[in-house]
Amino acid sequence: MGAQQAAEAAAWIAERYQPARVVSSPYHRARQTAGIIAAHLGLDVTVEPDLREQSYGDLAGRPYGSVRECADYDPASYWRWCPPGGETLDAVAARAGAVLDRLAKSLPDGDLVVVSHGGVMMALWRHVTGAWRQGRVARNAGIMVVDHDGARYAGVTAIED
């Protein structure tokens, strides 16, 4: 299913935009998705290490629901919560946001495709809008369109099913 979703996302992007670059998280599934999209667009993939998913530290590999077992977890401010030995979503927003800023400046009039993970995309939403997208993680192969002029962001739209 994932390859089909990536191909559909690539077709959607190709119908509306002319990306100059495809960048990806270093994690395997993101690179696979980026490869499918890049092949459809006739581009190469550039890996950006700081687009990796949030570190869950000691909770890595456990079901996401296990965070509710942590006494200090507060769903009302999930972006500030730090998994034991991991990082907050605020920290993800800072590192991934720096990548997005650099890429946007390098292509002020161009289109760019960023392939990453749900938590990273939520953190980038925060970086662009200044607000957390409450309880909304991008679906697999989901698309968020960020308008920019290289110096500032003009808005973000989540393309939903």
CATH code of the domain covering residue 105: 3.40.50.1240
Q: Is 66 within a domain?
A: no
Q: Is 71 within a domain?
A: no
Three-state SS letters, 43-100: CCEEECHHHCCCCCHHHCCCCHHHHHHCCCCCHHHHHHCCCCCCCCHHHHHHHHHHHH
Which pLDDT value is given to residue 135?
55
Interval 81-113: pLDDT, tens: 999 999 999 999 999 999 999 999 998 888 999
CA dist 13 and 103 (Å) reads 18
Q: Is the pLDDT of residue 114 over 60?
A: yes
Interval 26-84: pLDDT, tens: 999 999 999 999 999 999 999 999 999 999 999 998 887 888 888 898 888 888 999 99
Q: Is 98 within a domain?
A: yes
* Structural domain of 27: 2-52+93-159
Determine the residue type at 106: S
Which pLDDT value is given to residue 136?
60
Q: Is 16 within a domain?
A: yes
Number of domains in the chain: 1
